[in-house]
Amino acid sequence: MHIRLSTFQTTCVLAMLCVLCGNTYAQQTRPAAQAATTDASIPAAQLLQPAELVQILRSSGGEKPLILQVGSHVLYAEAHVPGSEYVGAGGQESGLQALRDRVKALKHDQFVVLYCGCCPWAKCPNIRPAFQQLVSLGFTHVKVLYLADNLGTNWVAKGYPVAKGR
């Protein structure tokens, strides 16, 4: 059996395929952004965009945050936000203990910025436990650097300042 489609029918079929493919592509490229806005464990008000942190770092006045990297030490040594400190992977108990030790002498209204940057935001095993740890300790001025893909893509490749080593 041979089916012959008219030009109109062919156009309709191609249009439907384009719509389906476009929706599939959009769903594949949207998860990180959706995760940032729908992730109830870190409220949107606590997220800090990379450009915002750069602006804070470059400003001459105002309170400078304590910036803590809560991901892999190998990645920290490769490239990190200048002035940040490595405290350990937030997804591991040893990293959370190191975080508790680092902040135990701080006032609870200290401006703290956490970041990881190991992988796409929605898959990061470190940032949420570290954020929840600080909140549970009573810290009230905690922001999380939102890195949708990773530190390389969302910080280094954009030409933002980078430090290496340690």
CATH of the domain at 50: 3.40.250.10
Nearest of 50, 111, 118, 45 to residue 81 by alpha carbon? 50
Lowest-confidence pick of 21-25, 39-43, 100-104, 115-119: 21-25
The pLDDT value recorded for residue 33 is 40
DSSP one-letter code for 148: S
In this structure, are 29 and 76 located in the same domain?
no
Range of the domain at 65: 39-158
Backbone angles phi, psi at 144, to 5 degrees: -120, 125
In this structure, are 84 and 150 located in the same domain?
yes
Residue 120 near residue 32 (C-beta atoms within 8 A) = yes
Residue 142 near residue 110 (C-beta atoms within 8 A) = no
Structure tokens at 42: 């870190």
Q: Give the model's confidence band at 107: pLDDT under 50 very low, under 70 low, under 90 confident, else very high.
A: very high
The pLDDT value recorded for residue 83 is 95
Domain assignment present for 164 = no
**Cα–Cα distance, 163 to 166 (Å, whole number):** 10
Domains held by the chain: number: 2
